[in-house]
Structure 1
Amino acid sequence: MERKKQWLIYAMLTLATATWGSAFIAGKLAIESFEPSTIAFLRFLGAAILLFPIMWLLEKNRPKPTKKDWGMFALLGLTGIAIYNICFFLASKHAPVIKSSLFIAANPMLIVLLSGVFLKEQITKKQIIGLILALSGVVLIVTEGNIQIITQFQFEPIDLILLVAVISWALYSVLGRVVLKKYSPIVSTTYAVAFGTLFLLPFSLAEQPWDAILHASPTAWLSIAHMSVLVTVVSFIMYYYGIQQIGAAKASIFINVMPVSAVIMATLFLGETFTSSAMVGALLVLSGVYVGTYVRKVRPKKLRNAS
């Protein structure tokens, strides 16, 4: 039974991070009508409207937050919702997709490092091997097999934005592990999204979005709705549930599924070519995820046989 539950958690994390891959495409479509902060605000406003009724219905006996808890929820909203998404949509507008993907691919490594230092989570050799395999696959996918393209990048101001995005998401994942010791994934996600939406509001107002809201294309609105419902409400809850069950370090390995998903969706919906290097990269990512998550599954069995 425990083994089945573990596979269910892995399946949920895979689905959650694969769905995040669609945010690259949805973001590109939405950015044609809206500015970055407004996209982020509308996305999470829609998510908050959905999340609060879900929380009130399913979490009637939730703990009453203390002042410290509210502070933690605010930090989650600031890091993983406000800062990360402003940076993400700025990158969607101003940075090449290859560069953005490479920066985001560094997330699992940073999460593993922070989890080991601050959460004292055990980091195994197989997790590190899995991360290296998956990262190699991501690099192969986003460079389309031309690794030398990385050396052609020059430092630009947008690189600092991308770096902030990576750090803020890593902090969100690690802080979330602390919050999840007391609160469910639904409660944690709802309050984080609520604070993040409030933090995003002044940035959206500064972009003076009135004309864009009135004249945005149906495609842009559908993209925001997709990001609100599937990319945020459904996937964030599944991701946080995964962190709660197996830890931030191990769950972070599944983030490498995101660029694979983005490439496949770009092939299906944008007519891009699925190259042989993308195929090899996808196999490396899946191998890395398998190696990185297989390690602890066999230990309880060995212990039972020894006892």
Structure 2
Amino acid sequence: MKRWAPYVLLIVVSAIWGAHAVVGAAALQALSPLSLSVWRYTFTAILFVPAMIFALRRLRALTKQDIWLLFAASLTSAVIYPLFFYQSLDILPPIESLLIVNAAPVLTALFAYFLYREKISKKQMIGLFIALVGVIVISSQAASRGTDSLWAIGDAVIGTASFAMYTVISRKLYTRLPLFDVLAVTSFAGAVMLWLLVIITHSWSVATVLSTLTVNGWISLLFIVIFVSTLAYILYGYGLARVPGAVSAALTFYPQSIFAAILQWIWLGQVVTLVTVIGGIIILSGSMIMRRT
């Protein structure tokens, strides 16, 4: 059982992250993208207080490069990514937003090339092009629904780019710092940045919005905090240390769309369209080609 435990846990992570899109869409019925982002990372930071206490002892010895990497990781993963992803979820069906975000490996390869000069093979270029075609297919369907949907596609792409950048940055961080240190610091720093954004934009309603939440709203928010932001990342770190990289990526990445599609149908009553299925298959095929090279 111990031998299979990491593999099972990675599939659990995939289910949690797949469900995130649907639960996030449900939460947005009561919360704005900014409110959801702020309270998600505020509560997540509270959960990581014990880890932060231990991390503070080691943070004093950080180099300037480490500090800048942590700042960039916090900005991309806890501010830009959730704000734009949730903004897209406010308009698009969850599965469409998730499939676009699942094209992140494409941009990850490009960012790694420009930042660290990691080579991109011919097969990777083919995979990149194929995934881009899939995004275009889904975008064409969104465009047919009106300008708002097309703008939401743009939001999803920005969120995808931000998550891809975080992936590249975190590779460096995890070779220098323990997993819990990175998660604690990025959660705390992200929460601080989001509250600064509240102050700058005078979005004072964010501070009082929780008093109006229904039971379903609280369930959605707490699921995102406890399972998506905390448990899933811990399990992912555990699995990564015990499962080969290519296998762990496949287990956590590819099944997400299946879980999201099923939950979207059950919870929101939204059936996945044929165009979305075709676009998703194209995106996942392109990403699979890139991961196998």
TM-score by length of 2: 0.74
Cα distance in structure 1, aligned partners of 2:44 and 2:57: 22
Match of 1:193 in 2: 187
1:81-100 pair list within 5 angstroms: 81-97=78-94, 99-100=96-97
Q: 1:94 to 1:272 in 2, by over 3 A?
A: closer
Aligned partners of 2:94 and 2:264 also within 8 Å: no
Aligned partners of 2:106 and 2:290 also within 8 Å: no
1:138-157 pair list within 5 angstroms: 149=141, 152=144, 156-157=150-151
Match of 1:301 in 2: none
1:263 alignment partner, one of 238, 261, 264: 261
Higher deviation after alignment, 122-131 or 267-276: 122-131
Higher deviation after alignment, 29-38 or 79-88: 29-38
Deviation at 1:45, TM superposition (A): 1.1
Deviation at 1:17, TM superposition (A): 3.3
Answering whether residue 218 of structure 2 is matched by residue 226 of structure 1, we say no
Q: 1:51 to 1:40 in 2, by over 3 A?
A: same
1:150-165 pair list within 5 angstroms: 152=144, 156-165=150-159
Structure 2: where are the runs of 5+ without partners? none
Aligned residues with identical type, % of pairs:
25
Q: Which amino acid aligns with 2:267?
A: F
Coordinate RMSD, CA, aligned = 4.3
Cα distance in structure 2, aligned partners of 1:234 and 1:161: 26
Q: Which amino acid aligns with 1:259?
A: S
Higher deviation after alignment, 220-229 or 26-35: 26-35
1:33 alignment partner, one of 30, 36, 54: 30
Structure 1: where are the runs of 5+ without partners? 296-307
Aligned residues: 285
1:204-219 pair list within 5 angstroms: 204-205=198-199, 206-207=202-203, 208-219=205-216
2:17 alignment partner, one of 17, 20, 23: 20
1:231-250 pair list within 5 angstroms: 231-239=228-236
Q: Which amino acid aligns with 2:109?
A: V
TM-score by length of 1: 0.72
Match of 1:302 in 2: none
Q: 1:84 to 1:282 in 2, by over 3 A?
A: closer
Q: 1:79 to 1:270 in 2, by over 3 A?
A: same
Q: 1:32 to 1:229 in 2, by over 3 A?
A: same
